Amino acid sequence: MNVIELDGLQVQLGGRVVLDGLTGELRGKAVGLLGPNGAGKSTLINTLLGFHMPTRGSAKVFGRDTRSERALIRQSVGYMPENDSFIGNMTGVRFVRYMAELAGLPAAEALERAHEALFYVGLGEVRYRKISTYSLGMKQLIKLAQALAHGPRLLILDEPTNGLDPMARQRMIQTLQEIRKEGSIHLLISSHLLRDIDQTCDEVLILKDGRVAALCNIEEERRSHRNFIELEAVGPTEKFCETLRGIGCECASFAGGRIKLVMPDRIESRDLYVVASQTGLQIRRIHRRRDSLEDIFMRAMEAEPARGELVRL
Amino acid sequence: MSVYKHEYRAYTGPLTPLWARVGVIVRYAFAEAWSTRITATLFTLSVAPVIVYLVGIYLANNQLARTLIMRGSPMLTIDAGYFLKVLETQSWLALVLAAWIAPRLVSFDLADNALPILLSHPISRFGYVLGKLLALFACLSLVTWIPCLLLFAFQGYSSAQPWVMANLRIAGGVLASSLLWIAFLSILGLALSSWVKWRVVATGIIFAVVFVPAGIGGIITGILRTKWGFLLNAPVMMTQLWQRILGAPPTMQGDLYLPSTAIVTVLLLVCAACVLMLNARIRAREVVRG
């Protein structure tokens, strides 16, 4: 079943089109939402939660329409907003219990789950302190705890590592990885930090100017570019390149003995050494380049974003 | 999740019905209102006049006590006028209580930007506001119609004549007048509190919104020699309305009385403005136009 379905989704805010014809189906366990500032990431999240109404098209979460079935969607979603959002006058456990009760848990279960959620995110020892006395990292964690307490099917996290120090950030990433591993919750993580998405998500939806710039599986995308190799060599580089082209490689040589090549799947690394031996080339250094999420993101930013084109995961 | 294993587990238990979520808001708002000693003190002070009026009813109905304590003073009459005084006293104490409680119910949520999280749960903006209104309404009920009706019941019990059936209009009038006033106060208090971040300022503004226009209305009435200035004067306007509802004798010159429709229209207009204010402010996300 699709977690999120977008069908020509257009959202207009203050007379400006912020999301323009988003179409796609997200099924992944952990989907990263990437895009430059103003791309429409937060607007998409707010639309999924029913805070903004689509002006055209539709958005569905677990098959439920964001326009007409808001309450049911919110029942099954846990949301951690980007900015500070809590009731500072309440203790941690009271706040999380309150949110769990609002999500529909009976009072006794809500209290039990509030304690558990706070221990789970690492705030067990400070759960009776007022939230206004928490550090920035703790405030991020309390937002995560309240999003988890009612046992949602989809966890929407807007910039979860915002403002965290490296230790707290690492802990947040670890917690998200554990949640993903546990498997009962789908994650939708919006961030402008590619590293966070890289570490926590298996799929990524990249937005640009309110349109889908890319929707891809990170691992598959990497695999599709796994045979890009850079060499440093001494000897007849042109002859080496010609031989490689003859067996189907894309190859280019540069000054200083540098060679860049893309090998087809059927050719293995050891074939390079065989060709080098035949042509009398000495390979001094070999560097297998792996596509980073940054490469995927940059490629998406260079491409013209698609409007209304169906993208699937 | 388990406290000891620190592992996540999904919730598979029963859920409360959607309509019950408003009750959650009411319960937490009520607890918030009563979490401070000042609320308890104000409530105690608000109940004190009720005891005085209770003693009045006791004296009016007990000849021996009247002779011993009042020593031949004119006899107290327990009628619509007496209950109008009770209602006026309690209503203005309710204003004090509302000015203190209303900002507590809203400003904590607004100060820390809690609305995005609150409204991301299955509760609508209407449900949220309704919950807060009901909590404030319940608090104000404790000092208005509930003690007034208790006094009415006590008078009915103490009176030698069959008093209750002959004066049912007073009970109905007290109930209707109180409900009208506390509903008005609740919506006004929440609307004003939702626009002010600091609680003390919000409390001041609630008083100002009631009494500053009253002063302006008084000036208009004095200078222009017109009764219409009273439309800005909530104390006078409400007293006139309550007199009519309870059937109490008039206390002002006849030409100074406003038509009931004018009073109700003003109240409705203020309520409509409050609804607009709440609609603009109680949102998960604000949209910047332009």
Q: pLDDT tens across B185-241, in order?
A: 999 999 999 998 888 999 999 999 999 999 999 899 889 888 888 899 999 999 999
Q: Which residues from B are below 8 Å from A179, CB to CB?
A: 8
B7 and A81 within 8 Å at the Cβ level: the answer is no
Q: Does B25 touch chain A (CB under 8 A)?
A: yes
Q: Which two tokens stand for residue A122?
A: 């690492």
Domain of residue B87: give its range: 18-281
For residue B116, the chain A residues in CB contact (below 8 A) are 51, 79, 81, 83, 85
The pLDDT score that the predictor gives to residue A249 is: 85
Are the beta carbons of B12 and A151 separated by less than 8 Å?
yes
Q: A49–B124: do the CB atoms touch at under 8 Å?
A: no
d(CA A79, CA B167) in angstroms, rounded, equals: 56
**What mean pLDDT, rounded, does chain B reach?**
90
- A105 and B15 within 8 Å at the Cβ level: the answer is yes
**Mean pLDDT, to the nearest integer, of A229-239?**
89
- Looking at the domain assignment, is residue B290 inside a domain? no
**What is the distance between the alpha carbons of residues A131 and A275, in angstroms, rounded to a whole number?**
66
Residue from A102, A116, A174 whose CB has the most chain B CBs within 10 Å, to mutate = A102
pLDDT over 70 (residue A291): no
- Which pLDDT band, with edges at 50, 70 and 90, does A312 fall under? very low
> Which alpha helices (DSSP H) does B62-196 contain, by range?
63-70, 80-111, 115-119, 125-141, 145-158, 163-166, 168-193
Confidence of residue B6 (pLDDT cuts 50, 70, 90): low
Spatial separation of the C-alpha atoms in residues B89 and B81, rounded to whole Å: 12
Is residue B241 in a domain?
Answer: yes
- Characterize the bridge pairing of strands A30-34 and A16-26: unpaired
Chain A residue nearest residue B28, CA to CA: A98
B21 touching chain A per CB within 8 A: yes
B166 in any annotated domain: yes
B287 within some domain:
no
Count of the separate structural domains present in chain B: 1
Q: Do B114 and A85 touch (CB under 8 A)?
A: yes
The answer to whether residues B158 and B57 touch, using CB atoms and an 8 Å cutoff, is yes
Please report whether residue B7 resides in a domain: no
Residue B138 is assigned to a structural domain of this protein: yes
For B:70-109, CB contacts with A below 8 A are 108-109
Do A87 and B108 lie within an 8 Å CB cutoff?
yes
The pair of structure tokens assigned to B174 is 């007290």
Q: Does the ipTM surpass 0.90?
A: no
User: Model's pTM, two decimal places?
Assistant: 0.84
CB contact (8 A) between residue A85 and residue B112 = yes
The answer to the question of residue B6 being in a domain is: no
Is there a domain that residue B11 lies in?
A: no
